Every structure is written in structure tokens, then in C-alpha cells.
């Protein structure tokens, strides 16, 4: 019987952890044939995903046009009139341009002052991504959601504009074209954007607003989504990262508010050929459907003319009530109140003899040692794993196929460290050990108050733990009952923070495992009243030690690549027409059978100047090797105007591909003073000194046959550009006879791959 309180407390903790994850995503059930016509059908949405993600469909491919035609046909089936917006557009932030083809349709409302925009993108990432999740799932959600909405035969108050944008993956270009030049953009009141950055996991809600968030948040909660997974810290972090979406364009350019709904789990499939129909998590799609049905029904029938606010709210998921929120203005007051309560309770505890100064001082030792050990060992051990498994570095986004297993393994390791450290202090009173964690949490909240108020919900565990401390000081409840009561009161702490242990390494890559380790120590400190035992924890030490070894062995066993966990690799042929030289390049740090057919011997470590194209992670070639010059056709440059008017030199020139290319990059080699520089009529730069940099990466769309440049610069400037004409046909080009990848390999995403790059200099 003596062990019952410990068992019950441990069960409460485990159940709450399970509950926090279970409650973050709906359960997919294939047996939903009883759906009414007006219900959202996952099967119908999956059918759309399957049809959209047959092949890569980035701008300029035949499949891009096939997917576009399919979507238009499906919208027409719903009785909607569609429009294809065609426009050349340049995004200065990304340095990217293309001629986009946006798909647009409108559902008229009864009394619309502002329109609701439903947004996703239908292009896939160049050059191998199938785009089932990113963003075939978003397109499918909108297509099926609109079908179910129209089947109700009930008019909404607001107009609903559907924008399935083009060229999101290469620079948010479709959204930019619509936001800047389409008449419908002027009357948008709110945007719902459906996205993905992986192929599974819960879909998170992320706000986008230039004002404050309280009004948007309150209206979102009024929509009553069943699984509103979000917290204010996520958006604070999101704004710091280079992960813009189409919605960002509307916020920055048009000051339009919106919601992103995006799942980010199974990040290893992101932008790869593995982002396919079979690997899309059906529960993630169901989560998107839940967001769609709840938010569209709500926002399509309220006044969208004024969703701005004068105050920001802290918000976080919370047991039973789904989400709690309160103003940023409360953060300082709550911190002050918690500090006062903590000092009062601690002072009374000292006066009553329940606390001791020596015990409090000793309590800082295991807590601070645990923070240092867990954070430091996790950081260094992950660095060691990168040395042991160098192929991990070829997974550029930083989340390996066994990433979830690594998270579990490191949690077990850090639990073992914590138990081991606190065993040395088994004779100390539990509440003495509790003072240090509360103190550190208060200091963290002080930093939050000054620097990142989106994390203001970190004060909630402090209040709960101070209350638990007060119970220990002011009551004489039996020790076992205190333990159970402490576990029950700690449910919100565990519920809020357990998912964060997984969210950080999933969202930021496994390099951030040390953040989860530090957070685990902080949580353990607050759970001391439940977890601390004033006797040696030999059994727990052995158990967690055994589980840690077992899990790391399992992770190591699963570290190899396979048919379901394919190795990314790369080969690129670079032809320099200025010097009549040619090279092979690879981004791989570890060579395999595919790359070794070229890089068997005689290769050099490092990159090739001006030949590595722009990429998300600024990835450079790791190896290159000189090879035979193949005389592959490149581009033809024609100057149609070169004249000086006043102090300006006016230049018009065209670059026409002499073979099918997918992308043309223009690199500036000399500093020039630009008055105006445009491509195909789209302004790129104006009144700017242009340094040595890539001016534009132009992705050749189906409508593009050549590029027309118009340049006005200082009359004394002698522009000198380098062009990279890039085609993704290395494996099919008749000049090469490469052995294809085997079933355990995929093209490396995020870089120019399977490509022929013809580079040459243009002197104007």
C-alpha cells in the first residue's frame, strides 16, 4: 500500500503526457462512409491529393499545367467561374522571378463589406518534390471544403475568394502578383492559409498581423475548432526564422490579417520526392479539415472590416478548456504577484521551520548542475552523433528519419541524469529543493517580460508550484496524499510543456535538442514534490539507464538508409563557356555508389566560384572535379538598345535559351549604379547601387521563351554579368550516361540538383 501514492502520481504524469499529445490532433478513421453530402469527406480530399501529386509540378513543367487544369476543372464542377491571373513578378527579398499563373475563383456573399480569402499554393518545390503535403493537402482541403460548403446551399454573408497561388516555393511570387495587382486584393478582410512543412503531425495555428492579436484570437476561438493547437511563443519564434508563407506577402504589402494552418511533423519528407500521397498523415489532413470547416463557417459570416486590435494576448493550450489567453499587459503584474507570493510563502516557511536556509542553498546545487549537465551533454552528444553518422549532414533541414527516436532517447538520458544527480541529495527536504526551480523560473519570466513576451505563459507553472509549496508549508496532509495532490495540480504544467519537448527539435532541427533538455530540467524542478523520494532511487536509476541504452541502440540500429528512409544525394555538371572548362559538383559530405560513379578519385574539396546557385540553406559544393567539356548549348544574348541619354546609359537586351532550361541566374560582377532594372516588364531594382551579388533567379514558366531585360544605369558603368543557365535534365541528357539512383536514394532537396549549369560572362 505504501507504494500506491507513488504509483498513482507516476500514472497521473504518464497519462497527462499521453493526453497532451493525443489531444493535439484528431484520430483518423477510415470508416466514415456515413458522411452526409454536406460533410467534409477526407476520402474526396485524399483523391485530390493523389491527383495533384503524381509528378513534380513546379512552374515550367508539363505537369504544372496538368495540375492547373485539374484544379480548374474541379472548381468548375462546383459551379464556380475561374480566372487564371498571368503576370511576371519579382520578389526582391528572395531575388526570384517568374511568370505566375494564379487560379482564382469567387463565391458571392449576401452582404459583403470585406472578403474572406482561402489560400494555398498548387506548385511543388523544384525539382523533385511531389508536393502531396506541401501544399497538395492545402489545395485539397480548400477544394473539398468548398464543395461541402456549397452543398449546404446556404449563402454566406461575405464574399469568399479562392486563391490557389503559383510559384510559392520559389519566392511567394503568385501571392505577390495577386496582392500587388489584382482588383480583388483591395477588398480582402482576412486570409486563411493552408500549408505544410512536413508530411504529418498536428497542424499549428500561426497568426499573421501587423497590429495586435487579441481580436483575431478571440474570433478564432469563437469559431470553435476542435483541436486549436497554438501558443503565442510559436509565432514569436516563427517571426525570427526565414520561413515566410504566401500570407506574409499580404501582411507586409497589404496589411491584411490572417491565419496560417500548417503541420510540420515528419520533416524528413519536406520538399523531397517522399512528399507523396502514401506518406501524407491522414490525421494531419483531418486536422486541416477541422480548421477549415470551423473557421470558414465563422469568418464567412462576421464583419471582417475591423479585426485589428490595440493589444496582444498571451495564449496557450490548456487542459479541458482547450486554450487560455490574457493580455501582454498582465505579464509584468503576474510576474510581480508571483514574486511577492513566493517571498511571502518562503518567509513563512522559514519562520515555521518547514524550510531551512542551508537546505535552500543546497537545493540550487542539483538544479543548476542538472541544467548544465543535461544541456551540455545533449549539445555535445548530438555533435558526436554527427561525427559518427556523417551522412546526417546530408539531410539539410536537420531532422533525420530516426529523429523522433532521438528525441525519446535524449529525454530518457536526461531523466537518468536528473535522477542520478538528485539521488546525491536524497536526504534534503523536498520543499527545500523546490525553491531553486521556482527562483530560476521567475528569472526566466523576467527575461520573457523584457525580450519575448509571447512566452508569457511560462508564469502559469510558477503560480501552480507556489500553491503546491504553500500546501506543503501550511497543511499537515499525509505525505502520500501530498504527492498525489501535487501530481493532480501539476497536470496543466505537464499538459502545456510536454509537447514543447518535441516541438523544438521537430521545428528547428535536432541541433536544438539541447533546448528540450533544458526545458526538461526546468519541468523536473517544478515536479520535485511529486518526483523526489527521500531514499536512494536505485531502481529508477537502473530503469532509466537501461531504457536509455536500449533506445540509443535502437536509434543507432535505425540510422541506416532504406527504401522508406532514402539517402539524399546530388550530382551537378557545370560548364564554363568563358574558359571552355567543365566540372562535376556534389553537395554531399558523404559519398555513396551514386556519387562515386563520378567522385571515385581525383576530386577536390570545396566549391566552384559563381557556379553554385542560390539555395535555402546557402549550401555549397563539398567536392568538385574537373571533367570533359561537353559543348552543351547555353543562351544567346542580343542587345537591342544601347544609348546614353543625359547621364544615363539605356540598355535593352534579351537572353534566349538555346535549349530547354528551367532557371536562369544573373550574377553581377561589378558595382553599378542602377536607375531602373526590369525583367519582362517587372521592376527589379530602382535607384540603387548594386554590388557583386545574384541579381535574379528567373524560373522559366510555360509561357516564357526568352527574357527581356531593360537596364538604366550610370553612363560610365560597364555592366558585367555572369549567367547560369540551369536545366534539371542531367539524368536524361544524351551527353551523359549516368547510372540512376537505386531505391534507397532520392535527389537531395533544397539545392540545385540533377542539373546542368552552363555559365558564361556577358560584358555590356
Q: For 94-121, what is the mean pLDDT?
A: 95
Strands (E), 410-524: none
Return d(Cα 452, Cα 443) in angstroms, integer.
Answer: 13
Per-residue model confidence (pLDDT) at position 608 = 78
Coil, helix or strand at residue 395? coil
How deeply is 113 buried, as exposed, middle or buried, from its count of CB atoms within 10 A (0-12, 13-18, 19+)? middle
Q: Work out the number of other CB atoms within 10 angstroms of the CB of residue 383.
A: 11
DSSP 538-568: HHHHHHHHHHHHHHHHHHHHTTS--SSSPEE
Interval 46-66: pLDDT, tens: 999 999 999 999 999 999 999
Q: Work out the number of other CB atoms within 10 angstroms of the CB of residue 439.
A: 19
- Comparing 36-40, 311-315, 424-428, 477-481, which segment has the lowest mean pLDDT? 36-40
Delimit the domains of the chain by residue range. 32-326, 329-557, 567-764
Paired strand residues for 231: 316
Per-residue model confidence (pLDDT) at position 1 = 40
Is the pLDDT reported for residue 534 higher than 60?
A: no
Contacts of residue 450, Cβ cutoff 8 Å, sequence gap at least 6: none
Q: Which of the 8 DSSP states describes residue 105?
A: E
Interval 354-380: pLDDT, tens: 999 999 999 999 999 999 999 999 999
At 106, the pLDDT band (50, 70, 90 cuts) reads very high
Coil, helix or strand at residue 506? helix
Interval 137-164: pLDDT, tens: 999 999 999 999 999 999 999 999 999 9
CA distance readout (Å), 400 to 126, 185, 397, 753, 756 = 21, 40, 9, 20, 29
Paired strand residues for 708: 654
Average pLDDT along the chain: 94
Sign of the torsion angle spanned by Cα atoms 534, 550, 498, 443: positive
Coil, helix or strand at residue 761? strand
Pairing of strands 572-576, 581-586: antiparallel
DSSP 124-168: PPTTT---IIIIIIHHHHHHHHHHHHHHTT---SS-EEEEEES--
Per-residue model confidence (pLDDT) at position 497 = 97
Is the pLDDT reported for residue 244 higher than 70?
A: yes
CA distance readout (Å), 187 to 108, 117, 212, 274, 304 = 13, 10, 21, 38, 10
Q: Work out the number of other CB atoms within 10 angstroms of the CB of residue 614.
A: 18
Pick the CATH number of 32-326 from 3.40.50.10890, 3.50.50.60, 3.30.470.20, 3.40.630.10: 3.40.630.10
Return d(Cα 68, Cα 591) in angstroms, integer.
Answer: 38
Interval 197-231: pLDDT, tens: 999 999 999 999 888 999 999 999 999 999 999 99
Per-residue model confidence (pLDDT) at position 685 = 95
Paired strand residues for 208: 258
Return d(Cα 353, Cα 744) in angstroms, integer.
Answer: 66
- Comparing 23-32, 185-194, 305-314, 329-338, which segment has the lowest mean pLDDT? 23-32
Domain 567-764 has CATH 2.60.40.2410: yes
C-alpha cell at 329: 499587459
Return d(Cα 517, Cα 374) in angstroms, integer.
Answer: 6
Angle between helices 42-52 and 138-151 (to 10 degrees): 140
Q: Work out the number of other CB atoms within 10 angstroms of the CB of residue 365.
A: 15
Coil, helix or strand at residue 734? coil
Cα Rg of the chain, angstroms: 29
Interval 59-99: pLDDT, tens: 999 999 999 999 999 999 999 999 999 999 999 999 999 99
Interval 229-243: pLDDT, tens: 999 998 787 777 666
At 537, the pLDDT band (50, 70, 90 cuts) reads low
At 32, the pLDDT band (50, 70, 90 cuts) reads low
Q: Indicate yes or no: pTM above 0.75.
A: yes
What DSSP element (H or E) covers 265? Answer: strand 258-265
Per-residue model confidence (pLDDT) at position 35 = 60
- Report percent pLDDT > 70 for the chain: 97
Interval 583-606: pLDDT, tens: 999 999 999 999 999 999 999 998
Paired strand residues for 685: 677
- Comparing 30-34, 514-518, 693-697, which segment has the lowest mean pLDDT? 30-34
C-alpha cell at 243: 520561413
At 113, the pLDDT band (50, 70, 90 cuts) reads confident
Paired strand residues for 625: 584
Per-residue model confidence (pLDDT) at position 612 = 62
Amino acid at each position: 500500500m505504501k507504494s500506491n501514492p507513488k504509483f498513482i502520481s507516476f500514472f497521473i504524469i504518464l497519462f497527462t503526457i499521453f493526453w497532451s499529445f493525443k489531444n493535439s490532433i484528431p484520430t483518423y478513421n477510415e470508416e466514415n462512409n456515413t458522411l452526409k453530402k454536406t460533410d467534409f469527406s477526407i476520402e474526396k480530399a485524399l483523391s485530390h491529393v493523389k491527383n495533384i501529386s503524381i509528378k513534380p509540378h513546379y512552374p515550367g513543367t508539363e505537369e504544372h499545367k496538368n495540375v492547373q487544369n485539374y484544379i480548374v476543372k474541379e472548381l468548375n464542377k462546383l459551379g464556380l467561374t475561374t480566372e487564371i491571373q498571368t503576370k511576371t513578378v519579382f520578389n526582391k527579398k528572395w531575388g526570384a522571378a517568374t511568370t505566375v499563373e494564379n487560379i482564382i475563383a469567387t463565391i458571392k456573399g449576401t452582404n459583403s463589406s470585406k472578403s474572406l480569402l482561402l489560400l494555398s499554393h498548387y506548385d511543388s518545390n523544384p525539382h523533385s518534390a511531389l508536393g502531396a503535403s506541401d501544399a497538395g493537402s492545402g489545395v485539397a482541403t480548400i477544394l473539398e471544403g468548398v464543395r461541402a460548403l456549397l452543398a449546404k446551399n446556404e449563402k454566406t454573408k461575405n464574399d469568399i475568394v479562392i486563391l490557389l497561388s503559383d510559384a510559392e516555393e520559389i519566392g511567394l511570387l503568385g501571392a505577390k502578383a495577386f496582392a500587388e495587382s489584382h482588383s480583388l486584393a483591395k477588398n480582402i478582410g482576412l486570409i486563411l492559409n493552408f500549408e505544410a512543412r512536413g508530411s504529418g503531425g498536428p497542424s499549428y495555428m500561426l497568426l499573421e498581423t501587423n497590429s495586435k492579436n487579441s481580436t483575431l484570437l478571440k474570433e478564432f476561438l469563437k469559431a470553435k475548432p476542435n483541436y486549436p493547437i497554438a501558443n503565442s511563443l510559436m509565432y514569436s519564434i516563427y517571426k525570427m526564422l526565414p520561413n515566410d508563407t504566401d500570407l506574409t506577402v499580404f501582411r507586409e504589402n497589404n496589411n491584411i490579417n490572417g491565419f496560417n494552418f500548417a503541420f510540420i511533423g515528419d520533416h524528413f519528407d519536406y520538399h523531397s520526392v517522399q512528399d507523396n500521397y502514401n506518406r501524407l498523415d491522414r490525421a494531419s489532413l483531418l486536422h486541416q479539415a477541422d480548421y477549415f470547416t470551423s473557421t470558414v463557417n465563422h469568418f464567412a459570416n462576421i464583419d471582417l472590416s475591423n479585426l485589428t486590435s490595440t493589444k496582444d494576448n498571451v495564449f496557450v493550450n490548456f487542459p479541458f478548456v482547450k486554450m487560455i489567453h490574457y493580455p501582454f499587459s498582465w505579464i509584468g503584474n503576474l510576474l510581480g504577484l508571483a514574486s511577492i507570493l513566493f517571498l511571502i510563502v518562503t518567509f513563512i516557511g522559514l519562520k515555521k521551520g518547514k524550510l531551512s536556509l542551508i537546505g535552500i542553498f543546497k537545493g540550487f546545487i542539483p538544479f543548476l548542475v542538472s541544467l548544465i549537465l543535461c544541456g551540455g551533454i545533449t549539445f555535445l552528444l548530438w555533435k558526436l552523433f554527427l561525427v559518427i553518422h556523417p551522412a546526417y549532414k546530408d539531410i539539410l533541414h536537420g531532422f533525420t528519419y530516426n529523429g523522433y527516436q532521438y528525441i525519446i532517447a535524449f529525454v530518457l538520458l536526461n531523466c537518468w541524469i536528473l535522477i542520478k544527480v538528485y539521488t546525491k541529495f536524497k536526504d534534503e527536504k523536498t520543499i527545500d529543493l523546490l525553491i531553486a526551480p521556482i527562483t530560476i523560473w521567475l528569472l526566466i519570466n523576467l527575461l520573457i517580460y523584457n525580450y519575448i513576451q509571447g512566452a508569457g505563459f511560462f508564469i502559469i507553472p510558477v503560480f501552480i508550484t507556489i500553491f503546491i509549496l504553500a500546501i506543503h508549508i501550511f497543511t499537515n496532509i499525509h505525505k502520500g496524499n501530498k504527492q498525489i495532490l501535487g501530481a493532480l495540480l501539476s497536470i496543466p504544467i505537464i499538459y502545456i510543456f510536454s509537447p514543447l519537448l518535441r516541438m523544438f527539435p521537430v521545428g528547428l532541427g535536432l541541433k536544438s535538442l539541447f533546448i528540450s533538455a533544458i526545458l526538461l530540467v526546468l519541468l523536473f524542478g517544478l515536479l520535485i514534490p511529486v518526483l523526489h523520494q527521500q531514499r536512494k532511487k536505485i531502481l529508477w536509476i537502473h530503469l532509466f539507464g537501461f531504457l536509455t541504452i536500449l533506445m540509443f541502440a535502437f536509434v543507432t540500429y535505425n540510422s541506416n538508409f532504406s527504401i522508406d528512409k532514402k539517402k539524399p544525394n546530388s550530382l551537378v555538371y557545370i560548364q564554363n563557356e568563358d574558359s571552355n572548362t567543365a566540372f562535376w559538383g556534389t553537395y554531399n559530405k558523404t559519398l555513396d555508389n551514386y556519387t562515386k560513379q563520378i567522385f571515385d578519385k581525383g576530386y577536390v574539396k570545396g566549391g566552384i566560384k559563381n557556379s553554385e546557385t542560390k539555395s535555402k540553406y546557402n549550401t555549397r559544393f563539398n567536392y568538385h572535379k574537373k571533367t570533359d567539356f561537353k559543348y552543351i548549348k547555353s543562351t544567346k544574348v542580343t542587345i537591342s538598345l544601347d544609348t546614353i541619354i543625359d547621364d544615363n546609359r539605356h540598355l535593352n537586351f534579351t537572353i534566349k535559351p538555346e535549349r530547354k532550361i528551367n532557371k536562369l541566374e544573373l550574377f553581377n560582377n561589378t558595382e553599378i549604379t542602377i536607375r531602373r532594372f526590369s525583367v519582362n516588364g517587372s521592376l527589379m531594382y530602382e535607384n540603387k547601387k548594386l554590388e557583386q551579388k545574384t541579381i535574379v533567379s528567373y524560373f522559366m514558366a510555360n509561357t516564357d521563351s526568352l527574357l527581356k531585360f531593360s537596364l538604366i544605369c550610370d553612363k560610365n558603368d560597364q555592366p558585367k554579368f555572369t549567367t547560369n543557365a540551369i536545366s534539371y535534365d542531367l539524368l536524361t541528357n544524351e551527353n551523359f550516361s549516368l547510372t540512376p539512383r537505386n531505391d534507397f536514394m532520392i535527389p537531395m532537396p533544397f539545392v540545385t540538383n540533377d542539373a546542368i549549369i552552363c555559365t558564361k560572362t556577358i560584358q555590356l
